[in-house]
Amino acid sequence: MKKSILLGTLAVAGLTAGIASAQSTMEQVQARGSLKCGSNEGLAGFASPDANGNMQGFDVSLCRAIAVAVLGDAQAVEFVPLTSQTRFTALAAGEVDVLVRNSTWTFSRDTDLKLDFVGVNYYDGQGFMVRSDLGVSSARELDGATVCIQTGTTTELNLADFFRVNAISYEPVPVATNAEGQQQYLAGACDVYTTDISGLAATRATFEAPGDHVILPEVVSKEPLGPVVRHGDSAWGDIVRWTLNAMIAAEEYGVTSANVAEMAAAPTMNPEINRLLGTEGELGAMMGLSKDWAVQIISAVGNYGEVFEAYIGENTPVGLARGLNAQWTQDGLLYSPPFR
């Protein structure tokens, strides 16, 4: 009997799906009243649920910012948990509107997979963590070390490259997940644990004695992580790109969630701020958004720096320094094109 219900629901689902596919992503989101954001199932600092099931984190905040820009409501987001295997197909198949899930921007993903990386919200790189009593100060001294490494990731390939280039040997200890890697490393099954620096920092923060472990200075890969949309709907890609840029630019110009209402009340001396906040020009309308779209984003979510400090900055358990993710004016890589 149950089978027939399944068939019935299937038929109904097929019917509604036929109606939905004719619209642009923006129209779909507005018709649905919520943004479908592909997110990590759980990654410390970037996406994690609190006791009531509300998602929080650095990546989550970008999803919320997009929802504010399009729908005016930071909570109008449905988070779809995606694994590293299912994330790109889910996006391509239209199960999510945007993917913000620590995805590295690579050539083949951008071109061959027919996806668009619209920006970088976190510049990561692969690093190494060792026990400080080993007395190692550089990854080049790791000759003959055992290394815990997650299988099937780009980190595995980067590791092999690094050791080959430096003509030193290592013995891999394959692990399946970050959780397993932490346990193996703590149990002494490997001398070195390698993954993205942000992951290493988050992992080290959970140890009983974080001071007994050091993250080595070498960064052996480029991992620009950013939001991804489908090919073919450039208007939607623009909204996601400029939402991120608005958060970055707001930090550059000193617009914070605390002072944004005041700055948006009347035009300021800086025309760039005025255009960003909509007190001058009609930038929002060019994307089909409201005039004060950036004001809403910054007052609901905060600027890039605020979000960084709230979830992954030095005062959080993850404890990451800004490093490459500082503004270009402070020797970082964050550089928003002008709002003009």
Partner 1 sequence: MSGPSSIAFVRRDIIAPAPPPPGQAGVLRWMRENLFSSLTNTLLTLLSVYLIWSVLASVMPWTLNGVWGASSLNECREIRDARGLETAACWAVINERWLQLLFGFYPTDDRLLASVFHAEPLAAAGGLEAVFGAGSNATARIEFVNAMKADLSNLTIFFFGYWRPLLAVVLLVVAVAPILYASLPRGLLWVSLAYPFVAVFLFWGGSVWGPATVALGLVAALYIGRLVSARLGLLAGALAVVAAFFMIFLNPLGVIGHTGLFPLFPHAKGVLDALMPLGLPAIPSDQFGGFMLAIIIGTSGIVLSLPIGILLALGRQSTMPFIRWVCVTFIEVIRGVPLIVWLFVASTLLKYFLPPGSSFDALLRVIILVTLFASAYIAEVVRGGLAALPKGQYEAADSLGLDYWKSMQLIVLPQALKVSIPGIVNTFIGLFKDTTLVVFVGLRDPLGLTNAIRATPEWNGIYWELYIFVALLFFTFCFFMSRYSMYLERKLQTDHR
Residues that bind partner 1 in the complex, under the rule CB under 8 A: 1-14, 17-18, 20-21, 40-54, 56-57, 73-76, 78, 80-83, 85-86, 89-90, 92-95, 177, 179, 182-183, 202-203, 205-208, 300, 316-318
Query: For partner 1, which is the closer residue by CB, 75 or 259?
Result: 75
CB of 301 to partner 1, least distance (A): 11
| Six-digit token string for 118 | 């619209």
Query: For partner 1, which is the closer residue by CB, 281 or 319?
Result: 319
Query: For partner 1, which is the closer residue by CB, 14 or 338?
Result: 14
Query: For partner 1, which is the closer residue by CB, 73 or 238?
Result: 73
| Six-digit token string for 293 | 């779209």
CB of 168 to partner 1, least distance (A): 31
Q: For the residues of 55-99, what is the DSSP string, one character each?
A: EESHHHHHHHHHHHHHHS-TT-EEEEE--TTTHHHHHHTTS-SEE
Look up tokens 């390698």; give the residue. 194
Round to whole Å and give the CA distance between 38 and 41. Answer: 9
At residue 334, φ and ψ (nearest 5 deg) are: -75, 120
Query: For partner 1, which is the closer residue by CB, 98 or 248?
Result: 98
CB of 74 to partner 1, least distance (A): 6
CB of 266 to partner 1, least distance (A): 26
Give helix 58-71 / helix 304-311 axis angle, nearest 10°.
Answer: 140
CB of 120 to partner 1, least distance (A): 22
CB of 93 to partner 1, least distance (A): 4
At residue 336, φ and ψ (nearest 5 deg) are: -85, 135
Query: For partner 1, which is the closer residue by CB, 119 or 199?
Result: 199
CB of 89 to partner 1, least distance (A): 4
Round to whole Å and give the CA distance between 125 and 216. Answer: 12
Strands 145-150 and 170-175: parallel
Query: For partner 1, which is the closer residue by CB, 56 or 104?
Result: 56
Question: In what order do the strands lie in the sheet containing 77-81?
Answer: 77-81, 35-39, 98-99, 228-230, 115-117
- Contact between 177 and 159 (Cβ < 8 Å): no
